[in-house]
Amino acid sequence: MSSISQLQSILVNTYNPDQALRKEAEALLKQFLYTPNALSILFQFIGDHNIHRDLRQAAAIFIKNNARDFFRIDENAVNVLESEKEVAKVAVLEIILVETDNSVRGLLAETIRNIAEFEYPQR
């Protein structure tokens, strides 16, 4: 199964009314972060307008909620390669420029703010 189809399967359950399934999906998303190029895959997913809006939105929520952990430098940070951080910064800007869905755009704008908190002005 490809990373995109795995991600889609996980994100479906983030909207599940069953709390146990939702918690399991959230845990699987946290595990997904250890997949090589996970941030790139998440942004590719968000930018793909062939994927249902709710799933793209769920991925954008996940990135927004975890951006601080991706970009901060301390013991609580998620171990993300600098090269992947650079790809993520470019991807979020490219996607927000063409995104037509206001809810996804708003989530990406908040993500940019979270990234800037740790990246500006040093980087």
The pLDDT-based confidence of 1 (bands split at 50, 70, 90) is: very low
Per-residue pLDDT band at 81 (split at 50, 70, 90): confident
CA separation (Å) from 16 to 25, 56, 65? 9, 15, 19
Q: Is the peptide bond before 36 cis (omega within 30 degrees of 0)?
A: no
Distance separating alpha carbons of residues 7 and 43, to the nearest angstrom? 12
Quickly state the pLDDT bin for 108 (edges 50, 70, 90).
Answer: very high
Section 107-121 average pLDDT: 87
The H-or-E segment that residue 25 falls in is helix 19-32
Mapping DSSP to helix (H, G, I), strand (E, B) and coil, where does residue 67 land?
Answer: helix
CA distance 101 to 85: 24
Mean pLDDT of the chain: 86
**Can you tell me the mean pLDDT for 45-58?**
92
Report long-range pairs for 64-72 (Cβ below 8 Å, ≥24 apart). Answer: 64/107, 64/108, 64/110, 64/111, 64/114, 66/33, 67/111, 67/114, 67/115, 68/114, 68/117, 68/118, 70/39, 70/115, 71/114, 71/115, 71/117, 71/118, 71/119, 72/118
108's tokens: 């990406």
pTM, two decimals, is 0.85
Among the ranges 36-40, 74-78, 119-123, which has the highest mean pLDDT value? 36-40
